[in-house]
Amino acid sequence: MIKISEVKNFEHIKIDWVEDGNYAVISINRPDKLNALQNMTLREIAEALEPLQVDPKARCVVLRGTKDFTKRPAFSAGADLSSRSGSDLDQHNLRHQSHAMYRRHKYYDLIEEFPKPLIAAVDGYALGGGFELVLVCDIVIASKRSAFGFPEIQRGIFAANGGTQRLIRHIGKYRTKQLMFFGDHYTAEQMYEWGIVAFLVDDDKFEEILHEKASWLGNAATNSLFVIKKCIDYGTQVPLNVGLQFEQFGYAVNSQSKDVVEGVTAFLQKRTPKFKGK
C-alpha cells in the first residue's frame, strides 16, 4: 500500500493522524499568507488524499488551516494574490487562461471525489478559493469568529474554481449573486442559517467539537458513509429515477460489508456496535 511519506515531502500542507479517532488531518500550512492557495497547495491536498482513500487508519479526513497561525486564524484567504505573475501561462492568452482554470478545476474535482467523509474545519477566514474548498467538503464545522465570502469582485476577478456553479446548488441564485456581486464577508452564523455550516461552535470549543465529530465519523461504518456520500453527491446531478437506481445498487454494495452484520448484531445484543470500516 502507498504510504503518504513515500509519496513526497509536502511544502504547503502537513498531515497528522489521530489514532484514537481513526482520522487524518490535512492542514494548509502557509500562515504568513493566511493559508492562501497556489496550484501547488491544491495539488498537494489532492495528492495527500489519494493514498488516504485506502488507508484504514483514516476513515475520515479533516481539512483545515494550520493551528499554528502567526498572524490571524484562517482556513484559507483564497488564491495567493502574490503569486499571480509567477505562472508559466500567458495571462493575455485566452487558451492559456482557460487551461489555468482547467488545472484548478481538476484539483477541486479530485478533492470532491474523495470517497470518505471530508470535514472542512473552518476557524477564521474562508474566502474566495478557500470558500470554494469548503464547498467540496461534506461537513462544515466553523468557529463563531470565522468569516466567509467571495471578495474576488473587489480584485476585478471572480470565483471561478467552481464557486459560481457549486454555491448556486446550495443557497440558490439570488444569495449567490448577492455574495459575489458585492464581495462582502459573512459571519459563520449567517452560513449556518443558510445551511452551509453544519456545526457552529464557540471559539474555545472548536477543537473539542471537531475531534468529537471527526472521531464519530472515523469510528462509523465506513462503507455506508461511502455509499451515502456518493448517492447524495450524484443524486443532485441526475434525474430521480436514475438516482433511485444508483441508490439500489449502492444498497446492494453496502450489504456486503461486515459492518452491516456488526451493526445489526450489536442492536440485537443491546450493545454499542464496534465498526471496523470493512
For 127, phi then psi, to 5°, come to -120, 150
Under the criterion CB under 6 A, does residue 84 sit at the interface with ligand COA? no
- By the rule CB under 6 A, 123 interacts with ligand COA: no
Separation of alpha carbons 98 and 210, rounded Å: 37
Instruction: Name the residue nearer to ligand COA (CB basis): 36 or 140.
Output: 36
Helix, strand or coil for residue 21? helix
Cell 484567504 -> residue: 77
16 near 25, Cβ under 8 Å? yes
Q: Is 138 in the site for ligand COA (CB under 6 A)?
A: no
Strand-strand pairing, 185-187 and 147-149: antiparallel
125 binds ligand COA (CB under 6 A): yes
Pairing status of strand 125-127 against strand 185-187? unpaired
Nearer to ligand COA by Cβ, of 158 and 234: the residue is 158
Position 81 contacts ligand COA (CB under 6 A): yes
Q: How many residues are listed for the chain in this entry?
A: 278
Q: Which stretch binds ligand COA (CB under 6 A): 32-40, 94-102, 209-217, 219-227?
A: 32-40
DSSP 133-147: HHTTSSEEEEETT-E
The residues that bridge with 18 in the sheet, in sequence order, are: 23
Extract the runs of DSSP E, i.e. beta strands, from 58-134: 60-65, 74-76, 118-122, 125-127
Catalytic residue numbers, as ranges: 132, 152
The binder of ligand COA chosen from 24, 25, 28, 36 (CB under 6 A): 36
> Binding marks (x or -) toward ligand COA, 240..259, rule CB under 6 A?
--------------------
Instruction: Return the residues of window 206-235 that contact ligand COA according to CB under 6 A.
Output: none
Q: Per rule CB under 6 A, is residue 73 in the interface with ligand COA? A: no
For the bound state, the minimum distance from the C-beta of residue 107 to ligand COA, rounded and expressed in Å, comes to: 16
Residue of 24, 77, 133, 180 interacting with ligand COA (CB under 6 A) = 77
Residue 8 CB, nearest distance to ligand COA (Å)? 24
Beta strands, E only, the chain? 13-18, 23-28, 60-65, 74-76, 118-122, 125-127, 139-143, 147-149, 185-187, 199-201
78 lies in the binding site for ligand COA (CB under 6 A): yes
Kindly give the interhelix angle for 258-268 and 222-235, rounded to the nearest 10 degrees: 110
Among 65, 73, 151, 218, binds ligand COA (CB under 6 A): 151
Shortest distance, position 148 Cβ to ligand COA, whole Å:
11
The C-alpha cell at 256 is: 456486503
Closer residue to ligand COA in complex, CB, 97/215: 97
Q: What is the binding site for ligand COA (CB under 6 A)?
A: 33-34, 36, 71-72, 77-82, 125, 127-128, 151-152, 155, 157
